[in-house]
A = this chain, B = another copy of it.
């Protein structure tokens, strides 16, 4: 068993959680059932206006999707999070916004459908934080590819049950995880069923 197994906590399907990490600590994120996309944010704990930025990270890394060893940077171009391990095939997304009430309205869902954007702000509020915007998330395990015609191709995750990533904090951060509530499109698996995940601080 991995050394962190006793510390694993469960994040309920369709919900979010804010997790403070000190610089140097790692967050292990386990895709318990293998099919779950997990929207992920990191904010500077001393100044939440500084946050992990996908457009700055793509610029810094010259890569659309980070690989093991890559350090993502903040909107001030400071190292904030390093992908220190990944037992999945490494298919993640940096291109798409978090799902939001507006998306579920477009999809014809009832008002009040949970969303990653809602989870982000709810999780921050639970620890007394507020941010006026929703940064573009790192969408772990979310299967999004760019086609030869520049098209965005969405598909079910290719990760297996128990696949995990480890994320090392490169400054004192608050991380937010959202187990994506999408149940209309197959982004959380072909059965369109959002599921719980697990995580541990190590």
Contact = CB atoms under 8 A, between A and B. Distances in A.
Nearest to A153: B62
Nearest to A65: B150
Contacts of A63: 150-152
Interface string A37-76: 0000000000001000111101101111100000000011
Interface of A: 49, 53-56, 58-59, 61-65, 75-78, 95-97, 100, 102-103, 106, 132-134, 136, 146, 150-154
Given A63-B150, A63-B151, A64-B152, A95 B133 contact: no
A173 to B, nearest CB: 18
A152 B62 contact: yes
